[in-house]
Structure 1
Amino acid sequence: MGGRPGMSQFQQIALELPEEIYSEIEHLTEEEKNSFFRNVLQEQIEQRKTSDLENQMKQGYLEMAQINMELCKEFEIAEEEALRTGERLIVSKE
């Protein structure tokens, strides 16, 4: 379908619905049906994007937790050595 410049292009899809679902919307005008389906699809797309983003963030936090754990293990030896050195200094001053 054409349109004025700057306007969104529209694509049509054929959609098969079970009778029990179609009976719920058959009283709507064509424009109301189109608007209804556009809104439902947009909501579902936004929910999926949000869900995908949440999953990506969750995965990122899990990966960072693993990296942080590895860093803590690497510095554990250095911290123990610093603690022993500090204790020796305290003992030697007494």
Structure 2
Amino acid sequence: MSQFQQIAVELPEDIYSEIEHLTEEEKNSFFRKVLQEQIKQRKSSDVENQMKQGYLEMAQINIELCKEFEQAEEEALRIGERLIVAKE
């Protein structure tokens, strides 16, 4: 059995006038749906922000790794070029 909690929400008159014609159950349903959608969007936004942060951190790690291996790659390229020239 689902339990419910009540909250009081203050609304500006112009917003309230848009929903005042609804029954209490319709208002409750409306606010539940709006809150559920907002919570869903917030969670999605949080995940997106975490992913962005992760990609930024990995980008920095990748840059550091590239710098560490830059000299080894240049050496391998020189050796490869010498081998090619020697075969010609």
TM-score, reference length from structure 1: 0.85
> Is structure 2 residue 6 aligned with structure 1 residue 9?
no
Structure with the higher fraction of residues in helix conformation? 2
Unaligned segments of structure 2, at least 5 residues: none
Number of positions where the alignment pairs a residue of Structure 1 with one of Structure 2: 88
Query: What does the per-residue CA deviation read over 1:34-57, in whole Å, with 9 as the maximum and x for residues that have no partner?
Result: 000000000100011111111111
Residue 11 of structure 1 and its aligned partner are, at CA, apart by 0.5
Aligned to 1:64: 58
Unaligned segments of structure 1, at least 5 residues: 1-6
Where does 1:6-85 land on structure 2 (aligned, <5 Å)? 7-85=1-79
TM-score, reference length from structure 2: 0.91
Identity %: 89
Residue 91 of structure 1 and its aligned partner are, at CA, apart by 3.5
Matches of 2:37 and 2:84 in 1, distance apart?
65
Matches of 2:43 and 2:86 in 1, distance apart?
62
Matches of 1:61 and 1:92 in 2, distance apart?
43
